[in-house]
Structure 1
């Protein structure tokens, strides 16, 4: 396992060795990934899972954090879902690029209870690894280009350390230019 320059004060372990620090769908999906051994996990205080608090508490750069949001939209009476992954220093272009990619009239963040139920993950810890089959995973090109990232683990009590290239290789992943706008 590589050493992570973005880890700050975190103690990073191989994610495959610590399924107790992962939501069940994340652990299952990780086990099926060819590069799973390259993914790190670190336990954190669940009260500090929100990005800004996490970065401040663990001395991890905000620029190395990526946030995963669940987006919902309707087309012909059918609700469609997608996940969007953007750097924490940016905002997802939900009603522009994402809406067009989903081919829906209007897109919005999925309600918290719905996102939690559909993903099997905790709100504030939703991650692109282990999302429901068939969901597009839209990655901002800046995310895919990052050599080291911190993302959710499916629970609020830990974070995953991954590469942008691993995320871009996930089933259903699409790298999209200008998916996010600067904050």
Structure 2
């Protein structure tokens, strides 16, 4: 009996420890812990973070105040009004010129889950055409991005979209950022943004 109790206690400690590793990057109330770059709109509504095209119809970014190297990032996004966006990692910015890597968020057939290198080599990897169907347009999507050393893996709604091993990514340092694309007429909602550092 004592052994069973000890095993149960140990299992509880492991579960609590794993839960504590995940940290919320968005408090559901305001943009505390984030920095706005550009003139596009970023605001909070009903516990959701929203990015929306502004009058300039340019690129806009919302970056974490902290840098992250190795991590598992999970979040939910919902695309409205075009929805071209993305999640940057190990990135830096000068004005609205961002350098780093983007896990794409885009309309159907435009490579959500792929990795794009900004102001560098461009597309590094795109999902297979048959995997594009896992995007749910006009509904909430679960997105998971794992960045560890020189390896990146993305999942969309539980389905692995890409895996890449790249030396340049391995050397990268910087923050995580959400993007709103230029061109106007774009709106994306975000929530449940959590990170586990590895």
Higher strand share: 2
- Identify which of structures 1 and 2 has the higher relative contact order when contacts are C-alpha pairs closer than 8 Å and 6+ apart: 2
User: TM-score scaled by structure 2?
Assistant: 0.33
Higher helix share: 1
Larger radius of gyration: 2
User: TM-score scaled by structure 1?
Assistant: 0.35
